[in-house]
Amino acid sequence: MLFSVQPNAASLVVALRNRRADLALLPRPQDADQLRDVPGVNIASAPSLRQCSLDLDGNFAQLRDVRVRQAIALAIDKAAVMRAAIGDNGTVLGTTVAAMQEAWGAPLDGLPNQRPDLARARALLAEAGLADGFPLDLVSIIGFEWMDPAAVTIAQQLQAIGIRLNIQRVELGVWLNAFRTRNMRFTFNDWGTQPDPHILYYRHFRSPPGGADFRNWNNADADRLLDQGMETADPERRRATYMEFQRVMAATVPTIMLYSPNLVTVAGARVRNYAQHPTGWWFGLAKAWMTA
């Protein structure tokens, strides 16, 4: 049995069409469209624990002003970004990943800065003394294919409020060094989690020394809530705590969670009883088998 270890998405699709692969998790969910006419192939799609996002470094240039971060959030149409990057093969996010939204996610209609409002965005920039707009670098990682069309779309959207993006494509090692040293600037990110809010939020958003706060958010309310969530065992109290944390996150915008791409699994006719785990890992192999 073969499954997806190939880095080249096109080669993987060819292998599935030619039955040289029995099971694969597609790195680009939209590639499933090329396999729907192949007999004996089963295509399954499910929400994931992964997020494609924008991070806004609170120590970088104009992003130090919360009004600028809010204006950027209000200028971005997340659904349009997702369509440009992966079509309709995902879920637009608020403040948590798709596979955790039902259990832990704050309702999107109760969160600020989630839908485009260009008039409000321009007003916020004017309040920040930036009515004429400004140039801003957007860092994209070479090899993450979704980032290229997403960057073009976001550049067009921010142009409408006077922010002129310069897209910088860097190697993954360069990006990782900036991440580790908390010098993220304005950048794309692509990461996943286990299905618990403490694992999702604490290390990334809690101030040092408890967490790493890679985005230099330095938010005391967020720190208090993250500590409270870690210390609380009661499920309902934990849920209320993380709901409040998400409202703080949405209001002050250290990150903009764009969308979760669907986990699209392609299985040949010989594969039986395989279910894809929302982490994208291969736990489902434990209960799967193959016919002769």
Per-residue pLDDT tens digits for 263-278: 998 988 889 898 888 8
Q: Is the pLDDT of residue 4 over 60?
A: no
- Answer with the residue of higher pLDDT: 208 or 26: 208
Q: Decide: 230 and 87 in contact? Cβ < 8 Å.
A: no
In this prediction, residue 82 carries a pLDDT of 97
Structure confidence at residue 196 (pLDDT): 95
- Which position has the higher pLDDT, 275 or 212? 212
Kindly report, residue by residue over 75-127, the tens digit of the pLDDT.
999 999 999 999 999 999 999 999 999 999 999 998 999 999 999 999 999 99
pLDDT tens-digit readout, 5-58? 444 677 788 888 887 888 988 888 888 888 888 888 889 888 899 999 999 999
What's residue 5's pLDDT?
Answer: 41
Instruction: Give the integer Cα–Cα distance in Å for 258 and 114.
Output: 10
Helical pair 118-127 and 66-75, crossing angle rounded to 10 deg: 160
Span between the terminal Cα atoms of the chain, in Å? 11
Mean pLDDT over all residues of the chain? 92
The angle at the Cα of 95, spanning 278 to 120, to the nearest 5 degrees, equals 145
Greater model confidence, 66 or 34? 66
DSSP string, 189-247: EEEE--SSHHHHHHHHHSPTTTS--TT----HHHHHHHHHHHH---HHHHHHHHHHHHH
pLDDT at residue 8 in the model: 65
Instruction: Please say whether the dihedral angle defined by the alpha carbons of residues 250, 251, 252 and 258, taken in this order, is positive or negative.
Output: positive
> What was the pLDDT predicted at 269?
84
- Bridge partners, 139 (sequence order): 168, 187
Whole-number pLDDT of residue 6: 40
Token pair 């309902």 in the structure block, residue: 236
pLDDT score at 65: 98
pLDDT band for position 183 (50/70/90)? very high
For residue 22, the one-letter residue type is D
Q: Output the furthest CA–CA distance in the chain (Å, rounded).
A: 69
Mean pLDDT confidence for 56-65 = 97
- 69 with 62: CB under 8 angstroms? no
Pick from 30-39, 47-56, 155-164, 196-205: least confident = 30-39
- 40 phi/psi in degrees, rounded to 5: 80, 5
Lowest mean pLDDT among 54-63, 211-220, 227-236, 265-274: 265-274
Q: What is the pLDDT of residue 63?
A: 98
Residue position matching structure tokens 């980032």: 147
What span, in angstroms and rounded, lies between the C-alpha atoms of 168 and 147? 11
Q: Residue 222: its pLDDT value, please?
A: 98
Q: Which residue has the higher pLDDT, 68 or 30?
A: 68
Q: Which residue has the tokens 């310069």?
A: 166
Task: Output the pLDDT for position 240.
Answer: 97
Can you tell me which residue has the tokens 């500590």? Answer: 227
